[in-house]
Amino acid sequence: MATDPHQQKAATMGFALRPDAWGVGYGRETVRLALDLAFTNLGLHRVWAARAPRNEASAKTLLAAGMVEEGRIRGHVFVREAWRDSITYGILKDEWAARNGPGRNVSQAACAIGLTRDVLTVTAPLTVQRHRRIIDVHLLLIRDNRVLLSLRQGGYASGQWQVPSGHLEADEPTDHGTVREGWEEIGVRVDPDHLELAHVMDHRAPGEDPRFGIFYRAHSWEGEPYNAEPDKCGGISWFPFSDIPDRTVPYHAAALQHIAAGRISSKFGWKPRP
């Protein structure tokens, strides 16, 4: 939860859970604890949150905690080379008080599953803007010493091959982001515990901000890969490490060379310092 510098006595909140913790009730109780902290201890007037349009599980969690769907922010976040809308939810202090009654200690009574409010983190706006990097996550599927690549179609690097990949989303660990990208792009399900970190690349393209590229190798997966995003992908194919196509996104091609050589980290696109 972070105080919102653009609204008086308001904050925005978010949450994320490991897949093995889904369906237990941790999300609902985490949101309720955060709201209790916001209204009881911090004296806030309003708390709001946003979710991806396809994230129905978060919708149920926010509604169960008493938040109200307020609307849609069009083109709110830039995810995987495209702008994505967000569905927003909000709750006011008097609405929270009406639901929970006077004197009710939500931080103790609402948490039969064992959560306590000391697990929550509240942040305030910083006076110094810290540098942040975009993180790209990449899923390596290797079969018979061949690696699966997808052909980009439209937008950045159209017509070039790449390792299935995308941007890490907020409040998402890199392994879970990699698993999500694998499902969305090539339709395979991967257990995060079956991922192995293969390479980390500190890279930048001319005129763009630097990024971190995280490459995970899946030791097993469920389902046969297919082109799950035909509007963004021109096809998929398996290539030997010794015969990566010339028309491959340059930093992907460089990373594959490092991975084949057993190197765990590298830099790409940085000019030598004078």
User: In CATH, what number is assigned to the domain containing residue 151?
Assistant: 3.90.79.10
Q: Do residues 107 and 205 share a domain?
A: no
User: Is the domain of 183 the same as that of 237?
Assistant: yes
| Residue 95 forms part of a structural domain | yes
pLDDT-wise least confident of 62-76, 104-118, 200-214, 218-232: 104-118
Is 106 within the bounds of a domain?
Answer: yes
For residue 104, give both structure tokens: 């009710």
- Residue 142 sits in the same domain as residue 263: yes
| CB atoms inside a 10 Å sphere around CB 231 | 8
Statement to judge: residues 263 and 146 lie in one domain:
yes
User: Mean per-residue pLDDT for 143-152?
Assistant: 95
pTM to 2 decimal places: 0.55
Instruction: For residues 210-219, give the mean pLDDT.
Output: 95
Confirm if 269 and 251 have CB atoms less than 8 A apart: yes
Range of the structural domain that residue 21 is part of:
2-119
Task: Establish if 166 belongs to a structural domain.
Answer: yes
Return all residues near 137 (Cβ < 8 A) that are at least 6 apart: 165, 166, 167, 168, 174, 177, 178, 181, 214, 216
Q: Average of pLDDT values for 235-250? A: 95
Tell me what the mean pLDDT of segment 53-61 comes to. Answer: 87
Please tell me whether residues 108 and 204 are part of one structural domain.
Answer: no
- pLDDT of the residue at 150: 96
Q: What is the mean pLDDT of residues 180-191?
A: 95
Q: Which of 59, 89, 119 is the last residue of a domain?
A: 119
